[in-house]
Amino acid sequence: MNYFTMNTYEMKREIFNFTQKITNNLNKSTSKFVLDMQYGLAKGGSCLISEIATLLYH
């Protein structure tokens, strides 16, 4: 049995926890931006903003 959903959830949770640690003094919109960028980098393996945006919103 494959647990792709669980693996994805666990990865996003770890990224979320790390982002909270490094952005604890920043505002909410900046923290969300950092979270989205880190998740996009981890998921897509690309540092191009256009590819990260495609992964996040499609």
Specify the DSSP class assigned to residue 26: S
Q: What is the tens place of the pLDDT at every residue in 2-25? A: 666 778 888 889 999 999 999 999
Mean pLDDT value across the chain: 86
Which residues neighbour 10 within 8 Å (Cβ) at sequence distance 6 or greater?
none
Domain borders along the chain are 26-58
Tokens matching residue 17: 């926890």
What does the pLDDT read at residue 46?
Answer: 84
Q: Is the dihedral of CA 4, 23, 44, 49 positive or negative?
A: positive
Percentage of the chain lying above the pLDDT 90 cut: 41
Instruction: Give the per-residue pLDDT at 20.
Output: 93
